[in-house]
Amino acid sequence: MEHELLKVKNDASSLIIAAEDEKELNEIKLDFLGRNGKLTQLLKRMKDLPEERKPEIGRLANEIISTVEDLLATRGEELRGEKKEKIKRAVEDITIPGVKPSLGHLHPMSQVLFDVIDVFKGLGFQAADGPEIETDRYNFEILNFPKDHPARDTQQTLFLDTRKSKATSGETILRTHTSTMQGRIMEKIKPPFRVIVPGKVFRYEQTDASHGFEFWQFEGYAVDKNITFTNLMGTLDYFVRKFFGEETKIKFTSHNFPFTEPSLEGYVSCVVCKGKGCSFCKQSGWVEVLGGGMIHPNVLRNVGIDPAEWQGFAFGTGLSRLVILKYQMDDLRLLTNPDLRILEQF
């Protein structure tokens, strides 16, 4: 027994002295002094000793326990001191490189948004912002979509449930296009002006690779004296060359929108095959990107501008679509995916 006690004492001492940190020290403490620890187990066997040996061995055991406890306490203090010393050294060492916080960057959507604004700023346009929750008046009425007109069906409108508010039922919607900002701005300021309005719009759409219920558009319009259809075509041609690259071509086809007359649709030469024909442009060499036209006299009248004195052009395009085209992405949903493996590629 005596021999075993001394061995345990020696084992414990050498382990304690070699302990590297407080965690290790605690483990050693448990291993020797814990409920199932080596010393505790030995002490349990004291009762089997012959009566006359008990006092002597008891004293030795107590000595050993207090030696081990003292050693544990001293090493503990040392280790805490060493830790402090290490921290102190680290703080004082100004040559240790700092921890660099990782920097974020603009989302591809925002990068494109700022590029677009830059191009139009260069042409004297001002950027404006407006509400996503809209009224029937700005989304439709002012823009020459009379109530019950079939052209409203093209807008796949999401209506807000206004039963618990003062709003008239069916009048409050999520805007379906940024054209709403024609009325909102033209009502307030006097021509001449040139404005672009980027923003989010919403439609009742099934989500897939090329459709979303929420996407970005931007609207542009200019009102002045003697504005013509060719001013519109020239502006759009300038924009696509600046945005997609000088070699990009634009072509126009006639179209119909309630708020422009005459109206056009604009196509750019495919950014993937440069117009030769590929699966991206469905072999046509062209990709549709925008709608536009001369602001309908009814729209100008609706906002108190005399169409005999002032004319204007307007156009609208899907900003999300421009991003997809510019970076040749094959799925619109990638733009709302927060996966950093995607976003870090831009």
Q: Where on the chain is the footprint of ligand DAH (CB under 6 A)?
A: 177, 179, 219, 257, 260, 291-293, 314-316
Pair of tokens at residue 305? 């501008």
Considering beta carbons, is residue 151 or 167 the nearer one to ligand DAH? 151
Compute the distance between CA of residue 255 and CA of residue 263 in angstroms, rounded to an integer: 5
Alpha helices in the chain (DSSP H): 2-18, 22-33, 38-44, 54-92, 108-122, 136, 180-186, 229-244, 297-302, 319-327, 340-343
Minimal CB distance residue for ligand DAH: 316
To the nearest whole angstrom, how small is the minimum distance from the Cβ of residue 222 to ligand DAH? 11
* Nearest alpha-carbon partner for 31 in 79, 68, 4, 60: 68
To the nearest whole angstrom, how small is the minimum distance from the Cβ of residue 166 to ligand DAH? 28
Considering beta carbons, is residue 158 or 272 the nearer one to ligand DAH? 158
Pair of tokens at residue 25? 């020290």
To the nearest whole angstrom, how small is the minimum distance from the Cβ of residue 241 to ligand DAH? 20
Compute the distance between CA of residue 108 and CA of residue 95 in angstroms, rounded to an integer: 37
To the nearest whole angstrom, how small is the minimum distance from the Cβ of residue 179 to ligand DAH? 4
Q: Which long-range contacts (CB under 8 A, 24 or more apart) does 185-188 make?
A: 185/128, 185/130, 186/223, 186/299, 186/300, 186/303, 186/305, 187/303, 187/304
Considering beta carbons, is residue 43 or 151 the nearer one to ligand DAH? 151
To the nearest whole angstrom, how small is the minimum distance from the Cβ of residue 340 to ligand DAH? 31
Considering beta carbons, is residue 15 or 263 the nearer one to ligand DAH? 263
* Nearest alpha-carbon partner for 176 in 116, 108, 259: 259
Compute the distance between CA of residue 41 and CA of residue 52 in angstroms, rounded to an integer: 21
Cis peptide before 192 (omega within 30 of 0): yes
Considering beta carbons, is residue 177 or 194 the nearer one to ligand DAH? 177
Considering beta carbons, is residue 144 or 260 the nearer one to ligand DAH? 260
To the nearest whole angstrom, how small is the minimum distance from the Cβ of residue 246 to ligand DAH? 25
